Amino acid sequence: MLKRGFLPLLGAMLMIWAVGCSDNPTSTAGDSPSLADEFGGYTATDETSAFGDSELLTAEGEEEEIDDPILSSPSVQELANDVDAGMFHFRAVWGRIPYDSTVTEVTDWTGSLTISRGAIVIRRLIRFELNQDTYLPRTARELVEWVSYTTVHNDGIAVDIFVPPVPPTLDSSWIPDGSGDSTLVVDTIPADPVTLTFETGPYSRTFTLDELASLEEIVALDDGNKVAFHAVQWFRQICPRGVLAGRWGKDEEGNGVFRGLWFSGGGHVIGYLRGRYGQNDQGRNVFYGKWIARDGAFEGLLRGTWGQGPWTTNADVERRCPGGWFAGRIFDADRTPIGLLSGHYGSAPDYRGGWFQGRWKLNCRETGRAGQGFGVMDDGIATGLLD
């Protein structure tokens, strides 16, 4: 695990290296990116780790993996190992999405995340700055608190959520029938619904578990700040799924490019992705890309479509920093569909200031033991895809 004090220095060093070497975001070993090709010119070949791309390492360095002490408590250990517990991964990013170098006002995002029943485990802190942003000592398994301030960029947090299955309460009573006898009536009282509350000064929101299972949302605030929420329900043995995040925008040559990190359902970096987006010869909005494991091994080809807005009600910001959505499929080396991905993006005049965040899942039979108390919920990952 990288230490907090080392992260800003690492990010700065790698950014200087990336700019000084003028890396081309579209170049990959054995690939010839082109929007005219069926898969954008990307091939099912292995790569060097992180595509040999220093900017991807910079992005990874901006996310600090946390060894949350609450996970060692006996009650949380018991819940995390309960095969009947529900499991969700939740990612929230707040501030200037995308990066905006013109901002001078500081926004205080000090706040909390609370689960009404269950436990929250911190997995990652996103762009928290040394001696300014931090999470507070854990006082309860249901509560996470932090201190966060933003100006030109954004902060965020990624957590795992464990929810115990709670059977309904049975309430029985004898009801007189008017003839001297009574009838036993048993009422089933469902357990109170579990909710997750995100609370900060600029914005607060409460989610149900059904909402968490299908959560992909960007909230635009009146002051130009935004809050991005993405979450997935994840499982120990069935249907691999998770989140992805990175940068999206135009490179020095005017090509639409993206690159980012591929996270497991539990919030760990398990790979990298990169690709191109734009319009093909038929005028369709398309994107193509490639997903690799951490060691560079090929994992999948990406193909889909994207659309702009609605991103913000500020017309000037909309012109300078257009944003919208993307949705696509994941393919194996034989170009057979094996999964889906979807999310949102925010472009910026400088590619390095752009942003995207989304979710992915691999196809599999929705069977097996997903937890007696929590079956597979509707994940809502977009299926309006490019054929």
Residue 22 resides in a domain: no
Cβ-in-10-Å burial (0-12, 13-18, 19+) of 288 comes to: buried
Q: 303 vs 140, 277, 317, 327, 332, CA distance in Å?
A: 43, 10, 28, 8, 11
With CA atoms as reference, report the closest residue to 292 among 87, 30, 112, 34. 30
- 178 within a domain of the structure (yes/no): no
Q: Evaluate whether residue 82 is within a structural domain.
A: yes
Domain range for 247 is: 28-164+192-362
Rounded CA-CA distance 260/357 in Å is 9
Residue 50 has pLDDT above 60, yes or no: yes
pLDDT band at 189 (very low <50, low <70, confident <90, very high): low
Buried b / exposed e along 148-176 (16+ C-beta atoms within 10 A): bebeebbbbbbbbbbbbeeeeeeeeeeee
Task: Evaluate if residue 315 carries a pLDDT over 80.
Answer: no
Structural domain contains residue 175: no
Q: Give the residue among 225, 219, 193 at the shortest CA–CA distance from 207.
A: 193
- The CA distance from 68 to 121, in Å, is 6
- Token pair, residue 112, equals 């909390």
The CB density around residue 124, as the number of other CB atoms within 10 Å, is: 19
Q: What share of the chain is helix, strand, coil (3-state, %, to 5)?
A: 15, 40, 45
Distance in angstroms (rounded) separating the CA atoms of residues 19 and 17: 6
The count of domains in the chain is 1
Note the pLDDT of residue 355. Answer: 92
Sequence-separated (6 or more) residues with CB below 8 Å from residue 95: 107, 109, 150, 153, 154, 155, 225, 226
User: Are the CB atoms for 19 and 11 separated by under 8 Å?
Assistant: no
Can you read off the two tokens belonging to residue 179?
A: 């003839």
In a domain, 343, yes or no: yes
Cα–Cα dist 68/162, whole Å: 14
More confident position, 106 or 320? 106
Domain contains 53:
yes
253 assigned to some structural domain: yes
Q: Which of 204-213, 238-247, 289-298 has the lowest mean pLDDT?
A: 238-247
Both tokens of 69, joined, read 């002490």
> What pLDDT was estimated at residue 166?
72
Residue 379, pLDDT > 60, answer yes
- Closest alpha carbon to 221 in 317, 125, 157: 317
pLDDT tens profile 127-145 = 999 999 999 999 999 999 9
Whether 373 is covered by a domain: the verdict is no
What are the backbone dihedrals phi and psi of residue 139, each rounded to the nearest 5 degrees, phi first? -115, -15
In tens, the pLDDT along 55-79 reads: 898 888 899 999 999 999 999 999 9
Average pLDDT, integer, range 93-114: 95
